[in-house]
Structure 1
């Protein structure tokens, strides 16, 4: 029996290692965040439907601020619509800690306010059950 309800939300946090920097300024590509959205969507499906589900599509993706190596990023998925097999999810990614390489190689700080870097809307599908 499905427990999929509007408002069900899952959050993950992850440190972004320097090995993921691809561009000058230790920038990390947007695909990294989309991969994290896939991970958090999987847990939403498991909690709601007891199945990993499948990601069907994104209807909107907005890259608002950069993600950098050395950041700690928090990603959240929230169910906003429940169909027979589909669930629409709103995603957000925020930097909660940021590396400070200008201070020292290992310096970092907790941000006073999380910095929203990416928002998206997507659809997952789960087996009928």
Structure 2
């Protein structure tokens, strides 16, 4: 099971030289996609317990178009292990407003995390 979100990265989200967006931007979007996955899978937003790994592999820049995927990797009684990936699918070209659709997406961020559903939800579904 997976969900995919796509969005434009505004230039106002860039905080560093070269129009770079900070890594926290990816993690916020992972939280949104993880919540969506939990609703689809369990009918509850769940509570995020933490990340076991995070890798920043390539830059995300203002003007890019990205997609974020949350994929269920494992399902315990209450815990859900989720793999996340953020890919740049369109890259901005300078600050001119021009951009190109990439032939191959650039994997910018990967992570693995764990969400937990409430105990009473497990009891209701048994």
User: Normalising TM by the smaller chain, what interval?
Assistant: over 0.9
The answer on 1:67 being equivalent to 2:60 is yes
2:99 to 96, 102, 108: 108
| Bigger helix fraction | 2
| Residues in 1 aligned to 2:45 and 2:89: alpha-carbon distance in whole angstroms | 27
CA RMSD of aligned residues (A): 0.8
Q: Corresponding residue for 2:25?
A: 32
User: Could you tell me how far 1:127 is from its partner in structure 2?
Assistant: 1.6
| Residues in 2 aligned to 1:62 and 1:38: alpha-carbon distance in whole angstroms | 15
TM-score when normalising by structure 1: 0.91
Q: Corresponding residue for 2:124?
A: none
* Structure 2: unaligned runs, 5 residues or longer: 122-126
| Residues in 1 aligned to 2:116 and 2:18: alpha-carbon distance in whole angstroms | 37
| Residues in 1 aligned to 2:37 and 2:97: alpha-carbon distance in whole angstroms | 34
- Residues 37-69 of structure 1: CA distance to partner in whole angstroms, max 9, x if unpaired? 000000000000111111111000000000000
Runs of 4+ in 1 over 3 A off after TM superposition: none
User: Could you tell me how far 1:19 is from its partner in structure 2?
Assistant: 0.6
* Structure 1: unaligned runs, 5 residues or longer: 1-7
The answer on 1:20 being equivalent to 2:13 is yes
How many residue pairs are counted as aligned between the two chains?
A: 120
